[in-house]
Amino acid sequence: MNSGIFLLGQGRPGLARGLDPQALASTHASWAADVSAFGPWTPVQEAGPFPGREFWASARTSERPVLVCGRCASAMDLAWDLAAQADPRALVPWTTVLAVEQTRGRGQLRRLWESPPGNLHAATFLPALDKARGWSELTPLLIGYCLALALEGLGVSPVRLKWPNDFIWQGRKVGGVLVEERRGRSMAGIGLNLVRAPQPGDLRDGYAVPAASLEVAGNAFGPLDAWLTLVRHAETCYENLLGNIEPVDFISLVSDRLAWMGRTVLVREGEGLAYRARIEGLSPNGGLVLERDGAREVLHSGGIFPIRGPGAQRPE
């Protein structure tokens, strides 16, 4: 049984807590809806490719294995640990770990990502990319673009990409994606504010983009239900792009989806350097092309933020 939907029944010390269907339902109303929709749940000793003992299996099927864990440090940490112990051939692309809650979820530049119950916290293994064709450098943009399209399939539209890794809806951040590589494998960590978003006072500084939850868009998806829909659309998008276009054509596609394209933004590199520049597009390797003081330059690391105050441009 190499596919299916499972709960981590027995916790992994230092990484994640175990749970049963009743415990999962008690974490949040949206998870309670998922427990009901995907039940009945049966205790099992094996769970597809995931190492360990004691799991709960859903009566519903899934083409790609999904493991739901309780409160953990981060879904990505747990997924990497499982990958180190599992048969690598069994961890097919889009095998996913979903965490109910994270205590050390991470975003851009390893900043802490708020991860309460009810929101979506996923870590999924990505297909290998052809480095010779130039796709490997574009992995974060590729998965971000496909997930943005998938979100629109859920009724959240339009979704823009805040370079390099955030989802912007109606001028507010609703999620993000982080790609990590280890031992020749790539993994995407995805966070979405399904039911809760940080308040303005909780954001890390005065430059941060305001946050919103997708609940205000009229969505009532449970995290598991939402993920299965998103990953199905994202996988189709991913395969279609890799099979039908070249990286240079993809750059044009994703440039059209950039937040604040053609507008002047605040650019921050590290803690000390901040300046204004206009977004011109993307370089062939996914860097952000900026026009600054009449000259073009490419940003490979840093953050961009809408300019606020009198005369500021309205964010998309």
pLDDT digits (tens, 9 = 90+) for 67-97: 999 999 999 999 999 999 988 788 899 999 9
Q: Kindly report, residue by residue over 273-299, the tens digit of the pLDDT.
A: 889 999 999 999 999 999 999 999 999
**Do 72 and 12 belong together in one domain?**
yes
Residue 16 has pLDDT above 90, yes or no: yes
Q: What is the pLDDT of residue 106?
A: 58
Angle at 236 between CA 235 and CA 240, to 5 degrees: 115
Identify which of 105, 116, 107, 120 has the alpha carbon closest to the alpha carbon of residue 154. Answer: 120
Task: Tell me whether residue 221 is in a domain.
Answer: yes
Give the domain-ending residue among 234, 255, 276. 255
Task: Let me know whether 271 and 244 are in one domain.
Answer: no
**Based on the domain organization, do 29 and 61 belong to the same domain?**
yes
Is residue 307 within 8 Å of 276, Cβ to Cβ? yes
Q: DSSP states of 127-154 as a string? A: PP--GGGT-GGGHHHHHHHHHHHHHHHT
147 and 179 share a domain? yes
The answer to whether residue 112 sits within a structural domain is yes
CA distance 82 to 315: 41
Give how far the C-alpha of residue 161 lies from the chain's centroid of Cα atoms, to the nearest Å: 12
Same-domain check for residues 88 and 207:
yes
Q: Domain check: are 280 and 229 in the same one?
A: no
pLDDT digits (tens, 9 = 90+) for 242-262: 999 999 999 999 999 999 999
Cα 313 to Cα 260: distance, rounded to the nearest angstrom: 9
202 and 286 share one domain: no
Rounded-to-integer distance, Cα 49 and Cα 193, Å: 28
Residues 287 and 145 in one domain: no
Per-residue pLDDT tens over the stretch 114-152:
688 999 999 999 998 877 688 888 999 999 999 999 998
Question: Does residue 232 form part of some domain?
Answer: yes
- Has residue 316 been placed in a domain? no
Q: Is the pLDDT of residue 271 over 80?
A: no
Residue 93 lies in a domain: yes
Do 293 and 246 share a structural domain? no
Domain residues for 278? Answer: 264-306
In a 10 Å sphere around its CB, with 0-12 CB exposed, 13-18 middle and 19+ buried, how is residue 263 labelled? middle
Tell whether 141 and 108 lie within a shared domain: yes
**Statement to judge: residues 146 and 278 lie in one domain:** no
Let me know if residue 176 belongs to a domain. Answer: yes
What's the number of domains the chain is made of?
2
Q: Residue 113 is part of a domain; what is its CATH number?
A: 3.30.930.10
Judge if 270 and 143 occupy the same domain.
no
**What CATH number is given to the structural domain containing 273?**
2.30.30
Check pLDDT > 50 for residue 315: no
